[in-house]
Amino acid sequence: MTAPLHEPTAEAAPSAAEEAAVAGAEAKAVQGRSLGRIAWERLKRDKLALTGGIVVLILVAVALLAPVITGLLGQDPNEYHEDLIDPLFGTPVGSLGGISGEHLLGVEPVNGRDILARILYGARISLLVGFLSAVVAVILGTVLGILAGFFGGWVDSLISRIMDGLLAFPQLLFIIALVSVMPNDMLGLHGTGVRVFVMILVIGFFGWPYIGRVVRGQTISMREREYVEAARSLGAGRFYILFKELLPNLVAPIIVYTTMMIPTNILTEAALSFLGVGVKPPTASWGQMLSSAIEYYESDPMYMVVPGVAIFITVLAFNLFGDGVRDALDPKASR
């Protein structure tokens, strides 16, 4: 029950509270549960999805607190420890890639940078690009999808053709091409900043058709429903219907597709950094660590295992959580 807006007089107070309590009980008896509530209750029962969700939360916390954690461990992601490197082979001394009490996940070959510190900082890049590019895709996809579905006709044909075209494009190749013609300084950003900004925009741009198609389909199926007709007959304008009647009903599919898009975007970012068109060294990123690890897969396999497993755990956690959210929000979904 919400708090009363004005202070009740001393006399009226008990009766008002009593009334409110009675009204509340009645409301509880008949009131249906909201979609969010139902979804949450289903999600709570889904152990795998919950585990995924918790891992995602931990990852976000770790990424945000990366400087604090590395500070506590006394490590810096860019500090060289050449004394820990075998001068003959260039690989870390000690077993398993130089794991020790000080360097919990070992050090990199050649320059001996602490792998754990670089993994922690790499998480920031992965999650930042993963989330923000999903936001770009959701905004574009929702607006264009709803317009296509609601207005139909040539608007629909045009937007649908663009979506089909974009989906069939060799995206990675175009992203590579775009990133490679971008300058080093742009809009007050420099080096890695430019790359991150461009990656967010470009990955988001190629991702919007996935959301756009779903939103379009849902809009088409909803625009002739009775409640929309009712709103229209009451004299509601187009934009009122779009944003007040249709959009709230699109929230569920949009949430589902967003959670499923984030892991894909994280993989794309890692792939771009792996190929050398993502963030620039010495900034740490998982994909870039893997690409330098490829030369050591024989002599120092730990170096490739750590960032690889980091990507795997992150993407898996998002996928598990995304599957759970889909099952929770979609009444038809069955396992």
Partner 1 sequence: MLAYLIRRLFAAAVMLVVIIMVVFGIFFLVPKWAGVDIASSFVGKQADPAAVEAVRQKLGLSDPIYSQVWEFFKGIFTGRTYSGGGDVTHCSAPCFGYSFRSEQAIWPVLTDRFPVTLALALGAALLWLLFGLAAGVLSALKRGSFWDRGAMVVALAGVSLPVYFTGMIALAVFAFGLDWLDAQYVPLADSFTGWLGGLILPWITLAFLYAAMYARITRATMLEILGEDYIRTARAKGLREPVVIRKHAMRSTLTPILTMLGMDLGALIGGAILTESTFNLPGLGQAVLNAIKTQDLPVILGVTLITSLAVLIANLVVDVLYAVIDPRVRLA
Region class of 31: left (phi > 0), else alpha (psi between -120 and 50), else beta: beta
With CB under 8 A as the contact rule, the residue among 43, 73, 128, 176 that binds partner 1 is 176
Residue 82 CB, shortest distance to partner 1, in Å, is 25
Query: Position 219: which residue type?
Result: T
With CB under 8 A as the contact rule, the residue among 71, 165, 237, 331 that binds partner 1 is 165
Give 204 or 246: the residue with its C-beta nearer to partner 1: 204
- Contact call for residue 153 and partner 1 (CB under 8 A): no
d(CA 326, CA 83): 51
d(CA 145, CA 173): 25
Give 65 or 220: the residue with its C-beta nearer to partner 1: 220
Question: DSSP letters of 142-174?
Answer: HHHHHHHHHH-HHHHHHHHHHHHHHHHS-HHHH
Query: Position 199: which residue type?
Result: M
Q: Count of alpha carbons within 13 Å of 80, Cβ hemisphere only?
A: 6
Give 12 or 309: the residue with its C-beta nearer to partner 1: 309
Taking CB under 8 A as the binding criterion, the range among 6-14, 87-95, 230-238, 307-315 that sits at the site for partner 1 is: 307-315
d(CA 43, CA 37): 10
Q: Which of residues 243-272 bind partner 1 (CB under 8 A)?
A: 263, 267, 270-271
Residue 88 CB, shortest distance to partner 1, in Å, is 20
Taking CB under 8 A as the binding criterion, the range among 7-15, 23-31, 230-238, 312-320 that sits at the site for partner 1 is: 312-320
- Contact call for residue 168 and partner 1 (CB under 8 A): yes
Q: How many CB atoms lie within 10 A of CB 25?
A: 9
- Contact call for residue 83 and partner 1 (CB under 8 A): no
- CB-based contact 324:43 (threshold 8 Å): yes
- CB-based contact 113:78 (threshold 8 Å): yes
Q: Which of residues 269-288 bind partner 1 (CB under 8 A)?
A: 270-271, 274-277, 287
At 111 the three-state DSSP class reads coil
Instruction: Determine the size of the site formed for partner 1 (CB under 8 A).
Output: 43
- Contact call for residue 62 and partner 1 (CB under 8 A): no
Give 100 or 319: the residue with its C-beta nearer to partner 1: 319
Residue 33 CB, shortest distance to partner 1, in Å, is 26
- Contact call for residue 311 and partner 1 (CB under 8 A): yes
With CB under 8 A as the contact rule, the residue among 73, 93, 143, 172 that binds partner 1 is 172
- Contact call for residue 57 and partner 1 (CB under 8 A): no
CA dist list (Å): 334 to 81, 185, 197: 53, 50, 39
Q: Which of residues 177-236 bind partner 1 (CB under 8 A)?
A: 177-178, 180-183, 186
- 315 forms beta bridges with none
Nearest alpha-carbon partner for 68 in 119, 120, 30, 115: 120
- CB-based contact 228:222 (threshold 8 Å): yes
- Contact call for residue 39 and partner 1 (CB under 8 A): no
Which parts of this chain interact with partner 1 (CB under 8 A)? 161, 165, 167-174, 176-178, 180-183, 186, 263, 267, 270-271, 274-277, 287, 290-291, 293-294, 297-298, 301, 304, 308, 311-312, 315-316, 319-320, 334
